[in-house]
Structure 1
Amino acid sequence: MTRHLFSPLLPLLAAAFPLAAHATNGYFSHGYGARSEGVAGVGIALPQDGLAGAANPAGTALLDDRLDVGLDLFRPRRGATIEGNGAGLDGRYDGDGRRLFAIPSIGWVQRLDERWSAGVAVYGNGGMNTSYDRSPYSAFGVTGRSGVNLEQLFVSPSLAWRATPTQTLGVAVNLAYQRFSADGLGPFTAASSSPANVSGRGTDTSTGAGLRLGWLWQPAPEWRLGATWSSRIHGRFDKYRGLFADEGRFYIPANWGLGVAFDPAPGWTLAADYQVIEYSGVGAVANPIERLAAGRPLGSDGGPGFGWRDVKVLKAGIVQRWSPALTLRAGFSRATQAVPASQTFFNVLAPGVVQNHLTAGFSWATGERTEWSAFYAHAFGKTVRGRQSVPAGFGGGEADVRLSEDILGASWTWRF
């Protein structure tokens, strides 16, 4: 019922709130809000701004009344190399037809009374974009560009309750809006259960809803422990039911995490998160390409996907309150690899392979109620080299996929 109530509103919000495609931990963002992104996305036990509910809705209870408005500039460098192919696909391909993406965010928190707090977080949950001006499939007759574009907008109203002086519970409704497009994938139509719905169908959209639950415990003044879980969210792209498994179903995977924050001395905070993103629960993402050889075409029930594994992320960060006006941040995260070496051919379209992020940031109070925050994040370049990756029906050989990223962001805070 929640999905149907809000479905007409999400496209209107998306029209005024530009989406952008980005891939960090698989295709999920590494963090939400400039302060969290400055510590490598840590946030489950370290709520810092109005986007805290995106990581753990229980965290809004630890914040003052506030509004945070942010903008990230995201610069990925993605591409692929194909070698040993008998159909003429060999070459080095640049997927950077579009180079810069803008990712806005809004977070609001309001304390209702001594025990209850409410919040709303609006943010880009994740996405993926490739744009090959010189198509990797030109040997199969593709004359224009090839690529895909996936974007996800979340609107997450949340409520937090201080059950005891040390325990806080929270719940958020994740209202999700997705859009997707694909071009230049004509060579895959022969391997599809619905050849007319593989490529060049324009932008398709999908809406869905799910829950995020959160918990925070402060066993001592200097310690905070947290946990969070988010349900899988249903989605479907009918225009691309010949590309995605299960007739176009493209769910947003369930995910969960644990967090800890510790204040070892006045003005210092150390924090860490462990996150699991369950891509294996989404057939369109997780099913291996080998299912083509087993007689299951693209788009069919249980048909081939991108072969992704679950991603497990360890994040760690440090916060130092240098002065009443200046706070400094730094962090590092490492994720397991989503893309197996045997699945790189299809992932030429979705090379979400980066694993290591290094971040730094700061906040500067410009007045009693206002503050500016900024951060920089670098995802170190990663190449996954194919191993028995290109199916014989496409000429065999190997496909290597690569990705690196830079993110620069800032936010403005108003305290009520």
Structure 2
Amino acid sequence: MKKLAFVFASLAAPAAQATDGYFQPGYSIKSNGMGGVGIALPQDALAAATNPAGMALIGNRVDGGLSLFKPDRSVSTTGSLGSAMGPAAGTPITGTYSGNDQSLFLIPEIGMNWMLNPRMAVGISMYGNGGMNSGYSEIFPPLQAGTGVDLQQIFISPSFAMKLDDNNAVGIALNLVKQTFRANGLSNFKAYSVDPNKLTDNGHDSSTGVGVRLGWTGTVSPGLTLGATWQPETRMSSFSKYTGLFAGGAHFDIPETYGLGFAWTPVPRWTLAGDVVRINYAKVKAIGNTADCFYQQQCLLGQDNGPAFGWKNITVIKLGAAYQYSPDLTLRFGWNHADNPVLSSQVFLNTIAPAVTQDHLTLGATYAVSKDMEVSVDYVHALDNSVTGPLPPGFATAGSTETVRMNQNTLGVSVGWKF
């Protein structure tokens, strides 16, 4: 198991994605093909990432997958530099800048599940989050060439699930989380930090934490299953190399999430499913604190209640359908819509974290190679979206604006074995 976890961590090192904020739309190839649904519809051994109760319903199996992710992020500016930029004040900054210094990422997923008896299961699901990856070879002042960040999160989640009766199951997953972070190109802000030596260009730093996810599924009538899940906020250790950047003591905690879902088979061959999920980004200081006090020069980067990305809490709606075309072939499609966590008043600091995509269109399929082996594929397209807001006073003249934008494409394949 230790060797497997090491291999997974090595694969995940270059992975990053920005979807529902920095959470993935779904946590398996099958789930993503249906818009990310999964609270009431477990389909593979990654089910514990969404609702651990589902692990009691999928039998003995192993699933492994890999996705190729291609985000396209950029910023556009209008106006000129302000008085805080000294001799450069008045210099025009109108232009468009690509944040795609790295444009392709590999995202792995691995899950295993064992039925201890017909009612109880133990398993492990390994998956990742990311989404604050950017790199600008050219950018407007006061940012510098090379400005960018890289955030990655790896979850290793052992789980236990149990059927309470023929209709209800509950489950718990222990989340062992490791995350890494790097920031570059922010040296022009050292005068605005509580610790200039721990603001930027210190390489990757890591932090760890332990959390939990709880879940329930229940068949309430023939063909209709409901589900519920809750993951409280996960406290993470400090990014000690970046205490001059992040609010809240550089504890980049994992936000609380909870959700409800359904799965319905109205007629043979068709399954319809939907989830509603809440992600409480705003409760984490290093994510949710606004930058207003920073723009007004009333607080510093790295203070406990200092500036951050100003992300708001978001609601995510996921809808999907699966059609069993033949005994060997299942087709899937879906839609995932999230509130935009980035407010127009907070666009400047979100230059390095332009997670503004809202709508994902998804396709997927599974082909049974044999009675024990299946291959699944998915394609996810996040539609282009942008947010425009004012550049901070002092750094830019009145009326200067910035627009952050992003779209994404993901293509994935996985193999599942039943045993």
Q: TM-score band, normalised by the shorter chain?
A: over 0.9
Counterparts of 2:357 and 2:8, CA distance in 1: 30
Q: Which of residues 31, 39, 44 is equivalent to 1:44?
A: 39
Contact 1:20/1:127 (CA < 8 Å) preserved in 2?
A: no
Q: Residue 100 of structure 2 corresponds to which residue in structure 1? A: 96
Contact 1:69/1:105 (CA < 8 Å) preserved in 2?
A: yes
Task: Give the direction of change, closer, same or farther, for the CA distance of 1:93–1:16 in structure 2 (3 Å limit).
Answer: closer
Offset of residue 249 of structure 1:
1.6
Counterparts of 1:16 and 1:96, CA distance in 2: 20
Alignment of 1:309-388 (within 5 A): 309-386=312-389
Residue by residue, what CA displacement relative to the aligned partner does 1:347-367 show, whole Å, maximum 9, x if unpaired?
011000000000000000111
Residue by residue, what CA displacement relative to the aligned partner does 1:351-405 show, whole Å, maximum 9, x if unpaired?
000000000000001112111000000000001111xx32213124211100000
Q: In the alignment, is residue 170 of structure 1 matched against residue 165 of structure 2?
A: no
The one-letter amino acid of 1:210's match is G
Counterparts of 2:189 and 2:164, CA distance in 1: 54
Q: Which ranges in structure 2 are unaligned for 5 or more consecutive residues? A: 82-88
Q: Which of residues 51, 60, 66 is equivalent to 2:55?
A: 60
Contact 1:345/1:398 (CA < 8 Å) preserved in 2?
A: no
Task: Give the direction of change, closer, same or farther, for the CA distance of 1:19–1:208 in structure 2 (3 Å limit).
Answer: farther
Q: In the alignment, is residue 226 of structure 1 matched against residue 227 of structure 2?
A: yes
The one-letter amino acid of 2:213's match is R
Alignment of 1:181-330 (within 5 A): 181-235=182-236, 236-292=238-294, 293=296, 295-330=298-333
Counterparts of 2:171 and 2:196, CA distance in 1: 45
Contact 1:40/1:317 (CA < 8 Å) preserved in 2?
A: yes
Offset of residue 333 of structure 1:
1.2
Residue by residue, what CA displacement relative to the aligned partner does 1:12-64 show, whole Å, maximum 9, x if unpaired?
85236545110000011110110000001000001001101100000011102
Counterparts of 2:149 and 2:257, CA distance in 1: 24
Q: Which ranges in structure 1 are unaligned for 5 or more consecutive residues? A: 1-5
Contact 1:11/1:177 (CA < 8 Å) preserved in 2?
A: no
Offset of residue 267 of structure 1:
1.2
Counterparts of 2:5 and 2:176, CA distance in 1: 8
Q: Residue 112 of structure 1 corresponds to which residue in structure 2? A: 116
Classify the secondary structure of the residue corresponding to 1:189: helix
Offset of residue 294 of structure 1:
5.6
Classify the secondary structure of the residue corresponding to 2:307: coil
Counterparts of 1:185 and 1:85, CA distance in 2: 19
Contact 2:354/2:404 (CA < 8 Å) preserved in 1?
A: yes
Counterparts of 1:241 and 1:51, CA distance in 2: 34
The one-letter amino acid of 1:281's match is K
Identity %: 43
Alignment of 1:126-145 (within 5 A): 126-137=130-141, 140=142, 142=144, 144-145=145-146
Task: Give the direction of change, closer, same or farther, for the CA distance of 1:158–1:267 in structure 2 (3 Å limit).
Answer: same
Classify the secondary structure of the residue corresponding to 1:58: helix
Residue by residue, what CA displacement relative to the aligned partner does 1:89-148 show, whole Å, maximum 9, x if unpaired?
4321100111100000101111111221111100013332101011333xx483x41100
Counterparts of 2:330 and 2:49, CA distance in 1: 22
Classify the secondary structure of the residue corresponding to 1:37: helix
Q: Residue 86 of structure 2 corresponds to which residue in structure 1? A: none
Task: Give the direction of change, closer, same or farther, for the CA distance of 1:205–1:10 in structure 2 (3 Å limit).
Answer: farther
Counterparts of 1:346 and 1:164, CA distance in 2: 51
Classify the secondary structure of the residue corresponding to 2:130: strand
Classify the secondary structure of the residue corresponding to 1:385: strand
The one-letter amino acid of 1:297's match is L
TM-score, normalised relative to structure 1: 0.94
Counterparts of 2:178 and 2:6, CA distance in 1: 7
Classify the secondary structure of the residue corresponding to 1:392: coil
Residue by residue, what CA displacement relative to the aligned partner does 1:63-87 show, whole Å, maximum 9, x if unpaired?
0210000001100000101111324
The one-letter amino acid of 2:15's match is A
Classify the secondary structure of the residue corresponding to 1:367: coil
Offset of residue 186 of structure 1:
1.2
The one-letter amino acid of 2:303's match is S
Contact 2:53/2:217 (CA < 8 Å) preserved in 1?
A: yes
Give the total of aligned pairs: 405
Offset of residue 300 of structure 1:
0.3
Counterparts of 1:415 and 1:365, CA distance in 2: 11
Name which of structure 1's ranges 50-59 and 16-25 shifts more when overlaid on structure 2: 16-25
Classify the secondary structure of the residue corresponding to 1:260: strand
Counterparts of 2:51 and 2:328, CA distance in 1: 26
Counterparts of 1:275 and 1:404, CA distance in 2: 22
